[in-house]
């Protein structure tokens, strides 16, 4: 089902009524375009997801990035009318606390001006995890999942920054989209630079919940 976005403006907010799948590619690009345009005109944005039954890891990462960026600009994005599938995904990946959610669009609009909820993170451990992938959306997703488990997370979508962050990392998490490296394989180059640091390789999958479980389990095993 092709992604569609219906824009509805009220006096105090903009509502995006989204239908279809929020997945890597044109769909994520379309969401980011509409969110960016809406936040130019409104301080508050409501994403009505009643027509969304599937979100992959990149789609979830894109939502995380948009909400975080809006908060930094003193603006707010809320979600409403989540389908059971999307609610289950947010709960299983433990990112639901990052979002303000409401059962209906009316309730989300009625909450205009309410103080934003600060996301709850797990108790931070001393373990620093460096996530490396070319996709900013996937990095946002991995960062949120691992922070919810209490890890300190660094992330990089380019090789020079990854080299810099490597000095303070206890675990390396490589996503399925390798960052370009003039010296060849970025994985092998960083492995040689820090042979004592365990490596976790994220397997490509469109199942965001499965990816979260896989990454958390492997990081825990690597730091046991």
Query: What pLDDT does residue 115 have?
Result: 56
Residues 96 and 147 both lie in one domain: no
Residues 86 and 150 both lie in one domain: no
Distances in whole angstroms, Cα of residue 40 to Cα of each of 43, 73, 74: 8, 11, 12
Residues 105 and 141 both lie in one domain: no
Query: Is there a domain that residue 116 lies in?
Result: no
Pairing of strands 128-132, 100-102: unpaired
Query: What pLDDT does residue 122 have?
Result: 52
DSSP letter for 97, please.
Answer: G
Query: What pLDDT does residue 125 have?
Result: 66
Query: What pLDDT does residue 182 have?
Result: 83
Q: Provide the number of structural domains found in the chain.
A: 2
Query: Is there a domain that residue 195 lies in?
Result: yes
Query: What pLDDT does residue 120 have?
Result: 53
Query: What pLDDT does residue 220 have?
Result: 95
The range of the structural domain enclosing residue 29 comes to 4-110
Write the DSSP assignment of 141-186 as a string of letters: HHHHHHHHTT-EEEEESSHHHHHHHHTT-SEEEE-SSPPP-TTS-H
Distances in whole angstroms, Cα of residue 157 to Cα of each of 2, 52, 105, 186, 206: 29, 28, 35, 11, 20
Query: What pLDDT does residue 185 have?
Result: 85
Query: What pLDDT does residue 117 have?
Result: 57
Neighbours of 98 (CB within 10 A): 20
Query: What pLDDT does residue 204 have?
Result: 82
Low-confidence ranges of the chain (pLDDT < 70): 1, 113-125
């Amino acid at each position: 089902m092709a992604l569609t976005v219906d824009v509805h403006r009220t006096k105090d907010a903009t509502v995006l009524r989204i239908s279809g799948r929020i997945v890597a590619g044109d769909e994520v690009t379309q969401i980011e375009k509409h969110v960016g345009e809406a936040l130019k005109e409104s301080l508050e944005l409501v994403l009505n997801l009643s027509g969304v039954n599937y979100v992959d890891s990149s789609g979830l990462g894109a939502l995380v990035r948009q909400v975080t960026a809006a908060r930094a600009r003193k603006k707010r994005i809320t979600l409403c009318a989540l389908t059971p599938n999307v609610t289950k995904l947010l709960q299983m990946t433990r990112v639901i606390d990052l979002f303000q959610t409401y059962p209906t669009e009316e309730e989300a609009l009625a909450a205009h001006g309410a103080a934003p909820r600060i996301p709850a993170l797990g108790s931070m451990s001393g373990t620093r995890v460096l996530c490396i992938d070319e996709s900013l959306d996937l990095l946002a997703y991995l960062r949120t999942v691992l922070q919810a488990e209490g890890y300190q997370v660094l992330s990089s979508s380019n090789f020079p920054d990854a080299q810099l962050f490597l000095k303070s990392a206890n675990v390396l998490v490589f996503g399925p989209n390798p960052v370009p490296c003039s010296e060849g394989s970025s994985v092998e180059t960083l492995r040689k630079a820090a042979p004592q640091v365990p490596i976790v390789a994220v397997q490509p999958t469109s199942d965001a919940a499965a990816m979260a479980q896989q990454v958390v389990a492997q990081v825990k095993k690597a730091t046991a």
